[in-house]
Structure 1
Amino acid sequence: MRLINVSNGELKEVFPERAPPYAILSHVWDDDKEVTFQEWARRDTDEAVRRKSGYQKIVGACQQAINDKLEWLWCDTNCIDKTSSAELTEAINSMFAWYTNSQVCYAYLEDVDFRSTRVTRSSGSTAGVLNKNAEENSPDSVDTEDVHPLIEKSRWFTRGWTLQELLAPSREVFFAKDWTALGDRNQLSRSISDITGIHIGALRDRSTIWQYSVAQRMSWAADRETTRPEDVAYCLLGIFNIHMPMLYGEGIDAFQRLQRAIIKITDDQSILAWG
């Protein structure tokens, strides 16, 4: 896997089992605005790359990592060379573990505009060095009782890939567009449960997710969407502890492959409800 040095933006390849402590970013993609592995390599010389909102998003995550006294960050947009099918397959099959092994996950809700909402705020701070043009700011945290109406319509809770990004990390903190801290997963577990239908126990103790039936875990993804049809299956690999090759172009056959793989490792007949 590759990690971003949050002080200078350089990428470093590491063995996952020997990775230094790192933060990890969870977000909803906006394809034209994201920064690829190739674009990140020319960020210092290409102003168009630095103008992308995806670049600013990574900068914000690096700033938060520095605030948390972490030296490394992982982000799926620029840390994976998606022109390599082998690398992409390895990354997708490993992603649940990478989120699990992170020190903290930053769930970035880009469509939650904190500044347009009047709620109670409490003082906080962050700092960063990657973006020399970024304004110095002091993001605040929000009283958790005010958060539900802010986050309930966020796209982050409707996407397929963010399901594992919600369940896998040991610690997860939610942020608004301006990097205002909204609370962590435990603090917001009741609101998140209401929004997603996921039992509070699974949100508060990730080790319990394996105790839920196949049908229950499938139901957590039922109303979520992915851009590519194959990702309906691929985004669930970690939820079911399945590894399988990526075959983009196979369409809905990917979900049938996932079902067959699940049947091989469990006698849980509830999977038959998802034919």
Structure 2
Amino acid sequence: MMLRRTVSLIGLTFDCTAQCVTKADEAVSANNHEVAVNLYSAAIALDSSRHSLFAHRSQANLGLKLHAEALYDAEKVIEFDPSSYIGYELKHAALHEAQLYDEAVAAFKIMLFKLENASDPQIKKLRQKYGSPSEVEDAIRRAVQSYLDSAPLRLVNTSTGRLCDRHAQTNSFKTSIEYKQLLSSSIKHPHLQTESIEKAVEMYFRWVMLSHRWENEEPLLHDIADKVVYDLDPVGTMTKLQNFCKITRDAGYLWAWSDTCCIDQHSNSEVQRSVNSMFVWYHNSALTIIYLSDVPPLSQSGALAHSAWNTRGWTVQEFLAPGVVLFYQADWTLYLDARSSNHKKSVAIMQELEASTGIDAQALVSFRPGMAGAREKLQWASTRVTTLQEDIAYSLFGIFGVHLPVIYGETKQNALGRLLQEIVAQSGDISVLDWVGKSSEFNSCLPADIAAYRPPPFTSPFLSEDQIHTLVSSLQDAIVVKLASTLYSRLGNLTAPRFGNCRLHLPCIAFPVTEVRRRRSQERMSYFTFEIKADGLQDMLITTEDKLVPFSQAKSTRQPYLLVRPWNRYDLELPALAGDAQIVDDLSEPESSSDEYFSGSSEDNEPVDSEPHSRALSLIVRLGQPFGALLLAQQRGGEYKRVASDHNITAQVKDLTAVHDMMDVRTLEIL
């Protein structure tokens, strides 16, 4: 009787336990963890010998963020079955959620050991689901190295106030709570490893850049090295650095960069690397703070335009490169739009910058470096100034996307010349030759000063499609068509302009100067005005500081001067390079005698409407419009030098149908 009652009670207990577990599992599915914990606890009270009940309750406690309770249950699972991996897996989860990451990783290592040494092959196979701490550490190290490759060489830790190089930054990360959390979570979920690691690394190492105008006695690297920035005397420009770091820290960023103290000015290699990388650093920054020290609090719109910051050469790239910028006034309050998290989204501020800099709003908001629009970008910088003369060129390296040697001590002309040479070499863009002023000693076709780009570029007259069609229709003479086709072919076969050893090899259409006469009246004693005649061109006046050698075709056959039209595939709207060969073949005529060429048959005199010939005639129409010409003087070795003028030299052919006057196509070497 007693035995039967005992069996009956055991059965009843088992049924009650099973019902509690079933209800608890349903509660977990419904995310009702509190009910689940109560039910699992009831089941444990009925039968405390089943470690699976503690395992289920541990997970439910985690759902309630009851980390201590979850850890207790995990330890009970381990106590019941020390050889099982399950208890250690639960222990890792509880410790991880409790942010005890070192202990969590240790528990996970034991779990991996249990899996590797399990007797059951199916359990042993579970090891493949997880990474190992060493593998994750290597992945984190690679991610950090990759991220820091595009980061500044030194940054101020806004939490400690100390300047850190990359080694110190890495060490700071490895001892941080963020690193431990990343390591603990990544070993649990290896399939998310790369994405989660890269995101965590970016969040930790993201930095804020400072853009400002240098003032007297800015703190340099040696002034803050091995010191706490916040502990230094808050006097002079040190307060600017301290306030910048505090603003950055309060905004939630750990790292801050200022050019005054984060670059070793005595290391040529570091300066070189920094100058060539600075655009990328600003571009990759999480935020760029622009400090306007001369803009008082509560300033109205217009103050930014008149700030000295807006006149400096380096600041062009410093507000073009970043995606997020904030302008701060002298008292470190936000300029105009105090609620904005990004002043590039402020219409009022962008309109003010556009009006004051001449840079269109689209470029201000989403600028992309490169060679496109070279003349326009040079014009942006033409009104800017830098303390060191070479910096006016160096500050543009990032804007054009070039990497060149930084050689402080070279002349301004040499620095600018090397930049312009690289632009022409990489892009073939000859718009950089469109300037007025003095020639550079680097090469006479380049300006001595970037201010030479300040005047607007030469603009060819706009012709509508109807005007072009009308003028093309007037050129249907067979001889004109043949000459136009030949000229088109010659231009299509020209190589792009190139530089070598400071010498410009310039493809162009040349017009020999036949007469140079100096005018007697002089408005400015340092300049001379000359009347110029050239084959095929209308007469013109040129004012220059150079003393041209007067000559007349009637008195001399010597022609030391050329007026040239630089050839530019894009300006002349020629086809893309890939299709040139076929088009040139289409435009080329079969070999014929001179009599056949110039007399032609009755068929030759009929209008020609084929597409290739129409394209050639359209080219003649464009060549017949006014153009910006260069005046070149021949040197003893056969090379040429550009004769600089104080205004654009605008030339125009005399007769649109006189194509033979445009046939002198050459590549000239210009010193």
Give the structure-2-normalised TM-score. 0.34
- Whether 1:2 aligns to 2:154 is yes
Higher helix share: 2
CA distance in 2, matches of 1:240, 1:111: 30
Residue 290 of structure 2 is matched in structure 1 by 107
Residues 175-226 of structure 1: CA deviation (Å, up to 9, x unaligned): 001111114133111111011111111012123x548510001111010000
Letter in 2 for 1:197: G
Residue 27 of structure 1 is matched in structure 2 by 212
Based on CA coordinates, which of the two structures has the bigger radius of gyration? 2
1:61 offset after TM fit, Å?
Answer: 1.1
Residue 136 of structure 1 is matched in structure 2 by none
Residues 239-267 of structure 1: CA deviation (Å, up to 9, x unaligned): 11111111111112111011111112112
Residue 186 of structure 1 is matched in structure 2 by 345
Residues 103-152 of structure 1: CA deviation (Å, up to 9, x unaligned): 0000000010115x5xxxxxxxxxxxxxxxxxxxxxxxxxxxx3x22222
CA distance in 2, matches of 1:86, 1:267: 30
Contact 1:37 1:80 in 2 (8 A): yes
SS at match of 1:226: coil
- Whether 1:167 aligns to 2:320 is yes
Residue 224 of structure 1 is matched in structure 2 by 384
Task: Tell me which of 303, 306, 309 is aligned to 1:150.
Answer: 303
CA distance in 2, matches of 1:95, 1:247: 16
Contact 2:324 2:344 in 1 (8 A): yes
CA distance in 1, matches of 2:289, 2:272: 24
Q: Which runs of 5+ in 1 are unaligned?
A: 118-145
The 3 A distance-change label for structure 1 pair 211 and 83 is closer
Residues 10-46 of structure 1: CA deviation (Å, up to 9, x unaligned): 122228997711111000001x32000001126559x
Residue 415 of structure 2 is matched in structure 1 by 254
Residue 12 of structure 1 is matched in structure 2 by 164
Residues 37-77 of structure 1: CA deviation (Å, up to 9, x unaligned): 001126559x9x63443211111111111222111111111
CA distance in 2, matches of 1:111, 1:50: 22
Letter in 1 for 2:264: D
The 3 A distance-change label for structure 1 pair 43 and 33 is farther
Residues 1-80 of structure 1 aligned to structure 2 (within 5 Å): 1-14=153-166, 20-30=205-215, 32-41=216-225, 43=227, 50-80=233-263
SS at match of 2:380: helix
The 3 A distance-change label for structure 1 pair 205 and 236 is same
Letter in 1 for 2:282: Y
Letter in 2 for 1:175: Y
SS at match of 2:249: helix
CA distance in 2, matches of 1:228, 1:93: 16
Contact 1:107 1:175 in 2 (8 A): yes
The 3 A distance-change label for structure 1 pair 204 and 4 is same
Q: Is 14-23 or 232-241 further displaced after alignment?
A: 14-23
Residues 196-275 of structure 1 aligned to structure 2 (within 5 Å): 196-207=357-368, 210=370, 212-252=372-412, 253-274=414-435, 275=446
Contact 2:224 2:261 in 1 (8 A): yes
Q: Which runs of 5+ in 2 are unaligned?
A: 1-152, 170-197, 338-342, 436-445, 447-671
The 3 A distance-change label for structure 1 pair 211 and 260 is closer
Letter in 1 for 2:256: L
Q: Is 245-254 or 209-218 further displaced after alignment?
A: 209-218
Residue 272 of structure 2 is matched in structure 1 by 89
SS at match of 2:237: helix
CA distance in 2, matches of 1:97, 1:50: 33
Contact 1:230 1:254 in 2 (8 A): yes
Q: CA RMSD in A?
A: 2.3
Q: Is 262-271 or 73-82 further displaced after alignment?
A: 262-271
CA distance in 1, matches of 2:253, 2:233: 23
Contact 1:35 1:52 in 2 (8 A): no
- Whether 1:195 aligns to 2:356 is yes
CA distance in 1, matches of 2:217, 2:408: 22
Contact 1:37 1:79 in 2 (8 A): yes
How many residues end up aligned between the 2 structures? 242
Residue 127 of structure 1 is matched in structure 2 by none
SS at match of 2:155: strand
SS at match of 1:156: helix
CA distance in 2, matches of 1:243, 1:50: 39
SS at match of 2:273: helix
Q: Is 159-168 or 210-219 further displaced after alignment?
A: 210-219
Residue 105 of structure 2 is matched in structure 1 by none
1:7 offset after TM fit, Å?
Answer: 1.4
Letter in 2 for 1:254: A
Letter in 1 for 2:323: S
Letter in 1 for 2:411: G
The 3 A distance-change label for structure 1 pair 33 and 52 is farther
CA distance in 1, matches of 2:310, 2:376: 17
SS at match of 1:179: coil
